[in-house]
Amino acid sequence: MTTNAQDDARTEKPIAKGDLPNTLPRPEGELDELERIWSPPRGFHIVSAVNNIYVGVWYVGASVLFFVLAGILALLMRAQLAMPESRLIGHALYNQLFTMHGTLMMFLFAVPAVEAMGVYLLPSLQAARDLPFPRLSAYAFWAYFIGGLAFFCSLFFGLAPDGGWFMYPPLTSYTFSSGINADFWLLGIGFIEISAIAGAIEIIVGVLKTRAPGQSLDKLPVYSWAMLIFALMIVFAFPAIIVATVLLELERAFHWPFFLAEKGGDPLLWQHLFWFFGHPEVYIIFLPAAGMVSMIVPAMAQTPLVAYRLVVLAIIGTGFLSFGLWVHHMFTTGLPALSVSFFSAASMAVSVPSGIQVFAWIATFASGTLQWKTPSYFVLGFLFIFTMGGLTGVMVAMAPFDWQAHDTYFIVAHFHYVLIGGMVFPLFAAFYYWAPTTSHTPLSERLGKIAFWLMFIGVNITFFTMHLTGLMGMPRRTYTYIAAMGWGPLNMISTVGAFMIASGVLVFLIDLAKNFRPFRAKAANPWNAGTLEWLPTGEYQTRSIPIITSREPLWDQPNLARDVQEGRYYLPGAPTKTRETIITSPIDARPQYLLRMPGPTWSTVLAALFTAAFFFGLTIQIYIPAFACGALAIACVIWWIWDTDPGPDVPPVDIGGGITLPAYVTGPVSHSWWAMIVLILVAATAFACLLFSYFFLWTVNPQLWPSQPASFPHLRWPAISAALYLLSSAAVFAAGRLLARVPNRSAAPAVLALIAAILLIPLPVVIEALAQQSAGLSPSTTSYGAITYTLVAWQGFFAAVLMLMGLYTIARSLAGRLSAERRVTFDNTGLFWHYGVTQGLVTLAIVHLFPRILG
């Protein structure tokens, strides 16, 4: 088994300048072989491709599709509002339109678009051949694309959600939204959450572990930094919305009261959970876009970014601060003045990091000479619009002003300035800037500038006017307004502006249709940019993986492009005859091992299809087909991961420069271990959100928590449960020790230990449920019962997942794919097992001890 110490020893060799790792000429056929190995399948089977350049472009394309669709919904709304008291669109459709517009733009355009750009760009920015889990990216894309389309189609059946993208209960609970429209929202975004988290895990491990040698953290492109923080924010923010949607769906489906005041719930619980996700969400969207701008500005100004360290600090600071702001969406709920003041101050503080970035870009402009090309236009447009949005943001951070502006068109204006300025314009700049990395013709400068002016003027006409409409008192989310209010002319102006924006987007689409030809030989480096994505590439991304000594290697390392292309750097071929990339250490990017990656597969596409079918089956209440699809989805996932733990069947590989890397590692060096740790962080955050819900409901209605010891289950039950948990953990631990003797001795003892663990893990959940039931607790009578059973059910879900993982591990063992050396699968199962047991023990402690402490 490989250890850290060995790794460090192996990579101790200093990276020498001028002394390239590999010599010329390269062996005949090396490049052809590399090209062949990385080529995606042709014809219809291209769908099964997993290369990040393919998946990334499709992913971006899908997000643009949803941008256009959501934009069309916005145009319909603007048409309705152009005239007062218009009867063009009834209230029923209008309410669906604004709900879907917000939901699509946030969940199906903005987050996927920036994630997609990350999938597409990160490997080439870091000279990796692909992201560490190509099939996971493919799954994230297909789940999003298939599920998103199906979700959108709910509009055509009048089944689209109509409770607003924020879905505040009790309006969205079973009493006031009895149709399945709200379920479409809840289950519909379930897979989007899955997709976002899958992408985030991929990006965290990708940024930290697949870099060009020498690309230490202080040389990491700002965009990589932004994506790292972006993905970490998803890890900590999305679990809150997952928990919120689970709770609301439980309330809707089984009448477990979490948000119903008459049964001890509280509508504000939803608001806290939603905005704990929802506010970081804004920065989740903005940070990657700001990262893009920090790449585009230096290239367009032909000079390194000024104050790189400050900008990186600003990105990290934004990440932290954004989790302390969510209450500013709730200033009008009647919170105590103290907490209003605290969150008001925090909301203002978050504008400082943005200020740093804005002035760093201005300073960069000052130190260089701007190329007047379309990306520059969009970046300058972004600066103006985003600054406007930031300034109105400071205004609404002032609680007294927010009491007036909240939920008026002033807010609509504000966040459209922030999101269009902060995300859409950088994204369009990015489209024009990076299109040449995949398309053999760049996008048109002429059409690009026309698109820019239409969009820039259109945005200001539409949304500047909305500030005034809001100041004149027009609330949001209203399908009509009284003519006598005098808001008609302003609304008409906004509508005209909206159609202008649409025409700008149309020009962009025409440009795409005319010029964008992805996956072809790319144009040269048209902007003379300095970063690695402008190295020559093929299907394999980078012919050889360079050593980096600068933040802008193409500017500072002479002949880099030529040497890379000729194969003079690391890993010029495919020594193990499979797809490979170099895994590097997270801080200083020293090569650690060679990652062998799986190739194209239909399994991810089918897994995504069945996942979407599972969720939609549940939504439209066809349970048997739904669960069948769920089972098929799991089967496809197993098919997909079956090949991903190849084992140490290949000897260490010489990648050049005297560096020999193992082709298989286990333990904390492994990318797989990192991914599991991130997954556990996601699970732990979700669990923390559940505990928050438990304590929040208690503070609202402490009288519902039992005070008589007689009404609790006897303590022997949790004691037995705890013992069973510990036993199962011990069994897994023992299995690990027994596995160390395989294949020298039989694998049977390890398998038996695992079977014991699998049999033990569900028992505490069953005991707990029965104990609560026999103590007379009902999940649908009070919020106490509801949240207690939810904790139990949550643990039940984990027990089920652990059993599945255990069975999978046993299957690997029976197939001879598990041994002392080849044990990544087991290690992951073990890690998650111990986490699950810990979570179970904490659950027991809270459920049984907390009410007793109170009593």
Partner 1 sequence: MNEPGDRVRARSRREHRVSGGALACVLMAVTLSGCSDALQSTEQHRLDAPRTVNGDPAKGRDLVAAVGCGVCHTIPGIPGATGIVGPPLTTFARRTYIAGIVPNEPTALSAWVSNAPSLLPQTAMPRLPISHDDATHIVAFLYTLQK
Partner 2 sequence: MRAITALTIIAAGATLSGCAWILPDESHGSRPALMWIQSILVTAGPTGNAIGTLSWVMFAGAAAILLLVVGFTAYAIFGGRRTWMTNPHFVIAFGVAMPVLVLSILLLYGLSLTARSAAREQPALRIEVVGERWWWRVHYLGADGAHQFVTANEIAIPTGVPVEFILKTSDVIHSFWVPSLAGKLDMIPGRINRYQFSAARPGIYRGQCAEYCGAQHALMAFYVVAMEPDRFRTWLENHEMPASEPATALGTKGKELFIAAGCGACHTIRGTAASGLIGPDLTHFGGRRSVAAGSFPNNAGTIAGWIVSSQHLKPGNLMPSFVNLRGEDLRAVAAYLEGLK
Using the rule CB under 8 A, is 482 a contact of partner 1? yes
User: Minimum CB separation from partner 2 for residue 102, in Å?
Assistant: 11
User: Minimum CB separation from partner 1 for residue 179, in Å?
Assistant: 12
Using the rule CB under 8 A, is 486 a contact of partner 1? no
Coil, strand or helix at 154: helix
Stretch of residues binding partner 2 (CB under 8 A), selected from 142-150, 327-335, 653-661, 677-685: 327-335
Structural tokens at position 56: 């990334």
Strands of 342-480, DSSP E: none
Coil, strand or helix at 732: helix
Using the rule CB under 8 A, is 90 a contact of partner 1? yes
Using the rule CB under 8 A, is 699 a contact of partner 2? no
145/705 with CB nearer partner 2: 705
Structural tokens at position 729: 């953990």
- Please name the amino acid found at residue 307: A
Please list, in sequence order, all residues whose beta carbon lies within 8 angstroms of the beta carbon of residue 566, skipping any fewer than 6 positions away.
24, 26, 543, 544
For residue 720, give Cα distances in angstroms to 581, 768, 852.
48, 10, 18
Coil, strand or helix at 644: coil
Residue 674 and residue 828 in contact, taking contact as beta carbons nearer than 8 Å: no
Q: How far is 429 from 359, CA to CA, in rounded Å? A: 19
Please list, in sequence order, all residues whose beta carbon lies within 8 angstroms of the beta carbon of residue 25, skipping any fewer than 6 positions away.
none
Please list, in sequence order, all residues whose beta carbon lies within 8 angstroms of the beta carbon of residue 149, skipping any fewer than 6 positions away.
none
User: Minimum CB separation from partner 1 for residue 484, in Å?
Assistant: 7
Q: Any bridge partners for residue 545, and if so which?
A: 570
User: Minimum CB separation from partner 2 for residue 475, in Å?
Assistant: 5
For residue 359, the partner it binds in partner 1, partner 2, none, with Cβ less than 5 to 8 A by kind, is partner 2
Q: Any bridge partners for residue 570, and if so which?
A: 545
For residue 631, the partner it binds in partner 1, partner 2, none, with Cβ less than 5 to 8 A by kind, is none
Stretch of residues binding partner 2 (CB under 8 A), selected from 238-246, 415-423, 471-479, 605-613: 471-479
User: Minimum CB separation from partner 2 for residue 470, in Å?
Assistant: 8
387/480 with CB nearer partner 1: 480
Do you know the residue count of the chain? Answer: 855
Q: How far is 134 from 119, CA to CA, in rounded Å? A: 9
Using the rule CB under 8 A, is 489 a contact of partner 1? no
User: Minimum CB separation from partner 2 for residue 239, in Å?
Assistant: 25
Q: Which of 1, 9, 362, 849 binds partner 2 (CB under 8 A)?
A: 362
Stretch of residues binding partner 2 (CB under 8 A), selected from 13-21, 404-412, 648-656, 686-694: 404-412
Question: Residues in contact with partner 2, total (CB under 8 A)?
Answer: 86
x/- letters, 225..264, toward partner 1 (CB under 8 A): ----------------------------------------
Find tokens 């291209």 and name the residue.
46
Q: How far is 659 from 504, CA to CA, in rounded Å? A: 52
Using the rule CB under 8 A, is 488 a contact of partner 1? yes
**Helices 222-254 + 190-209 axis angle, to 10:** 150
x/- letters, 124..163, toward partner 2 (CB under 8 A): ---------------------------------------x
* Closest by Cα among 375, 385, 377 to 430: 375
For residue 83, the partner it binds in partner 1, partner 2, none, with Cβ less than 5 to 8 A by kind, is partner 1
Using the rule CB under 8 A, is 262 a contact of partner 2? yes
Q: How far is 614 from 460, CA to CA, in rounded Å? A: 43
6/178 with CB nearer partner 2: 178
Q: Which of 39, 86, 216, 332 binds partner 2 (CB under 8 A)?
A: 332
For residue 183, the partner it binds in partner 2, partner 1, none, with Cβ less than 5 to 8 A by kind, is none
Stretch of residues binding partner 2 (CB under 8 A), selected from 307-315, 436-444, 784-792, 803-811: 307-315
Q: What is the DSSP letter of 423?
A: I
Stretch of residues binding partner 2 (CB under 8 A), selected from 279-287, 350-358, 582-590, 792-800: 350-358
Using the rule CB under 8 A, is 632 a contact of partner 2? no
Stretch of residues binding partner 1 (CB under 8 A), selected from 26-34, 479-487, 522-530, 538-546: 479-487
For residue 170, the partner it binds in partner 1, partner 2, none, with Cβ less than 5 to 8 A by kind, is partner 2
91/520 with CB nearer partner 1: 91
Q: How far is 408 from 490, CA to CA, in rounded Å? A: 14
Please list, in sequence order, all residues whose beta carbon lies within 8 angstroms of the beta carbon of residue 205, skipping any fewer than 6 positions away.
131, 132, 133, 671, 674, 675, 678
Using the rule CB under 8 A, is 86 a contact of partner 1? yes
Residue 123 and residue 129 in contact, taking contact as beta carbons nearer than 8 Å: yes
Coil, strand or helix at 592: strand
Using the rule CB under 8 A, is 484 a contact of partner 1? yes
Question: Residues in contact with partner 1, total (CB under 8 A)?
Answer: 12
Q: Which of 18, 44, 484, 658 binds partner 2 (CB under 8 A)?
A: 484
The torsion of the CA quartet 46, 49, 52, 57, rounded to 10 degrees, works out to 30
Q: Which residues in 167-206 contact partner 2 (CB under 8 A)?
A: 168, 170-171, 176
Q: What is the DSSP letter of 521?
A: P
Find tokens 């302003």 and name the residue.
490
Stretch of residues binding partner 1 (CB under 8 A), selected from 60-68, 182-190, 405-413, 481-489: 481-489
Using the rule CB under 8 A, is 480 a contact of partner 1? yes
For residue 87, the partner it binds in partner 2, partner 1, none, with Cβ less than 5 to 8 A by kind, is partner 1
* Closest by Cα among 227, 298, 310, 219 to 551: 219
Using the rule CB under 8 A, is 156 a contact of partner 1? no
Q: How far is 810 from 184, CA to CA, in rounded Å? A: 37
484/524 with CB nearer partner 1: 484
Q: Which of 83, 509, 680, 727 binds partner 1 (CB under 8 A)?
A: 83
Using the rule CB under 8 A, is 84 a contact of partner 1? yes
Find tokens 């209008």 and name the residue.
94
Structural tokens at position 743: 């294949």
User: Minimum CB separation from partner 2 for residue 689, in Å?
Assistant: 21
Q: What is the CA radius of gyration of the chain?
A: 28
Using the rule CB under 8 A, is 702 a contact of partner 2? no
Stretch of residues binding partner 1 (CB under 8 A), selected from 86-94, 545-553, 606-614, 683-691: 86-94
90/668 with CB nearer partner 1: 90
485/854 with CB nearer partner 2: 485
Q: Which of 29, 486, 709, 816 binds partner 2 (CB under 8 A)?
A: 486
> In this structure, is the dihedral angle defined by the CA atoms of residues 41, 47, 51 and 53, taken in order, positive or negative?
positive
Using the rule CB under 8 A, is 587 a contact of partner 2? no
177/462 with CB nearer partner 2: 177
Work out the number of other CB atoms within 10 angstroms of the CB of residue 406: 20
Q: How far is 507 from 449, CA to CA, in rounded Å? A: 10
Phi–psi pair at 579, nearest 5 degrees: -70, 130
Q: Any bridge partners for residue 547, and if so which?
A: none
Q: Which residues bind partner 1 (CB under 8 A)?
A: 83-87, 90, 92, 480, 482-484, 488
